[in-house]
Structure 1
């Protein structure tokens, strides 16, 4: 099921001032993909995801689901299309006085399903989220991760084509977050459900998303496939999110005497090139000694992305050859610091 937003803006009016939460946002989510929107607090993410199913009405612009403009629907027509859109929240939104079974069943009763069909769906989706044995438990008896699994089962029980995730893992510890992300991946693959999620956590984006949009001050400042955005970030906010996954610059580890005019390079690896022994080849083919100062490799959904801070020790001619070789392998090279003798290497 295709989601499209066309020039969507949202302004909130108070007695004191107007707040532009969204500014002419346009995006397209393809059927069956996991699309992530990342931004800092106040960027407009939550407003945007609530606009997708018209929980929040836009000030201007259009929201299309499978070619149907939601802003033109009657209340009855909107209720019908909302049945194809499930939503999970950071705060779980479970009824404290209802059991796990009742939390899933109650919304289904409102849709007019038979008792047998409701029972079948409760059993089915509790099995999907791995909580069959918790059917008679109350929310207070569950961990945070289990509560979120119940919320996911409740959303899935309506058998939606789209699942909206509003910071669904931000209240969870890292280990539980990983298990919820694995569950979302499994749901996407098994049922073909399109997932649109918002988060402020880069590890969520890199772990499960196919494409990503970066938001700031109510606008999308960068968008693309996960590999595109990681390998060639353009906007400063995007770069900050990506750099948060890597150690701080190691330049401070080098004294002035140690630098001695030798270039310090940031090498960015993406995809298959991360598995190649490039620096080993450099030391074999050229009279250069790579001095690795820091680095890290982070897993993406279908690939890996890595960064190394490297000082190349050698004369100007050999160093230039080594840099040219590294770039020829597909590694992105950026000179962070170096002496005058190496100023024109890149």
Structure 2
């Protein structure tokens, strides 16, 4: 559906120095019908990347193709037509303040030559989908932030695209409103079959709706894969920072020094069905060990439960070894905590 090959993007320096590199050799493939997330901290190159997808930013080199059509090879008119198949929503909503909700959706359709009867049909249809059919005569300043974003989504959908790009669309919203918008995107993806590529700096967005994820840093993709694989076995330090933001697993150094002589302190990762099993409770009953949970959390990754715990397994080495082997047999990923943080 969307394929980016070796994308580079540089910008001229404001002081006539070396060009500024925003993207370096980025390659991604987004499959038809999936929700693909790109996450990174500020300055990672995420916004530049998503704007390269529809050539709002033209890559310095590399190739962008959508549905097998290479955007780099298109004329200005061909590119204009292609963009009608690529919806986009932004953090700032970009609504016309002097136009009501109906016209905010209708005016872009008028400008592309859609007939009046078809415009009405589409505006009504997509306002209904986003849950704002009763707000069509209301002006943006009378709407909440979440409602404004719903109007922006309806406007993007009104062109009936195959692809929807989301540029930090929930960053300005409170947590409850963010969840409502994410649920709406899930609904759009499931019911309309629209492929969604979104960028964010929020792990909650990735875990709630994405099928796959790419992690960016300094203009490069440093890690990518299925969300559940990236969460359960992050390879890059930046990825681990993102995962640890929802699974804080640092154990105070004093705890380790106090407890490690009595048995190992371990990180346990539960994926899918293993997250539903009382593994630690069973270990205490099967083996001559005591278990103590030091920290942990369980979240839902779209369709899969996923949990991380830090625990102390107290007992004779022979018994703790058996307990750890049993946990691994049950599908639990086990790693020993080697050091904690100094709380002083």
Q: Shorter-chain TM-score category?
A: over 0.9
Counterparts of residues 46-125 of structure 1 (less than 5 Å): 46-125=47-126
Question: Is 2:51 the counterpart of 1:35?
Answer: no
Cα distance in structure 2, aligned partners of 1:192 and 1:151: 19
* Superposition map of 1:109-258 within 5 A: 109-252=110-253, 254=255, 256-258=257-259
Alignment partners' CA distance in 2, 1:258 and 1:41: 39
Q: 1:51 to 1:273 in 2, by over 3 A?
A: same
Give the whole-Å Cα distance in 2 for the aligned partners of 1:145 and 1:248: 33
The 5 Å alignment of 1:10-25 reads: 10-16=9-15, 17=17, 18-25=19-26
Q: CA deviation at 1:231?
A: 1.3
Q: Quote the residue 1:328 is aligned against.
A: 329
TM-score by length of 2: 0.96
CA distance in 2 between partners of 1:291 and 1:329 (Å): 19
> How many Å apart are 1:113 and its aligned residue?
1.2
Give the TM-score, by structure 1 length. 0.95
Flag as ranges the 4+ runs of structure 1 deviating above 6 A: none
SS in 2 for 1:244: helix
Separation (CA, whole Å) in 2 of partners of 1:252 and 1:291: 16
1:328: how far off? 1.4
Alignment coverage as a number of residue pairs: 337
- Whole-angstrom distance in 2 between the partners of 1:46 and 1:259: 45
CA contact (8 A) 2:90 2:169 kept: yes
Q: Distance in 2 between matches of 1:312 and 1:97?
A: 64
User: Could you tell me how far apart the structure 1 residues matched to 2:288 and 2:73 are?
Assistant: 69
Cα displacement (A) at 1:334: 1.1
Q: Say which SS state the counterpart of residue 79 (structure 1) adopts.
A: helix
Alignment of 1:292 onto 2:286: no
Deviation at 1:257, TM superposition (A): 3.9
Is the contact made by 1:263 and 1:337 (CA closer than 8 Å) also made in structure 2? no
Q: Give the secondary-structure state (helix, strand or coil) at the position aligned to 1:160.
A: coil
Consecutive unaligned residues of structure 1, counting only runs of 5 or more, are: 339-346
The 3-state SS of whatever aligns with 1:93 is coil
Q: Is the Cα–Cα contact under 8 Å of residues 298 and 305 in structure 1 kept in the other structure? A: yes
What runs of 5+ residues in structure 2 fail to find an aligned partner? Answer: 340-344
- Range moving further from structure 2, 14-23 or 126-135: 14-23
Q: CA deviation at 1:252?
A: 4.8
